[in-house]
A = this chain, B = another copy of it.
């Protein structure tokens, strides 16, 4: 099994709903360092899982929809509790939609799976893995 991981980051504001979140119920923010991992059983004829440059561009495009925003005010996130876990799934699903729409070419359509990790601080992160 092969995989390729690309990294980027975004700076967002948000608040979380639920007493268990304590001070994170207040409006605050985070720099999310985001790793997107693309998995595939065999390499393509060029010897890659996916073009690493295009993979990075797709991750950037997905993050650009959230970057420098207050997620509490994002229409596409209305009613969503934007925990790190939920954001990892959201980014993975949006990447998956792009891959299936051909953003990474035929090579991308041969991918077997995708994982997204969001690092919210040096001591905490969350990951969501899904098939493709």
A binding-site residues for B, Cβ under 8 Å? 1-9, 11-14, 17-18, 20-24, 26-33, 43, 46-49, 51-54, 56, 67-70, 73, 80-81, 83-86, 88-89, 120-130
Residue among A12, A46, A70 with max Cβ neighbours from chain B (10 Å): A46
Assuming the contacts A28-B13, A31-B120, A122-B9, asked whether A20 and B69 have C-beta atoms less than 8 A apart, the reply is no
Contact between chains at B30 and A18 (CB < 8 Å): no
Cα(A18)–Cα(B48), bound, Å: 11
Cα(A127)–Cα(B53), bound, Å: 16
Give, as a whole number of angstroms, the nearest-CB distance from A130 to chain B.
8
Contact between chains at A126 and B33 (CB < 8 Å): no
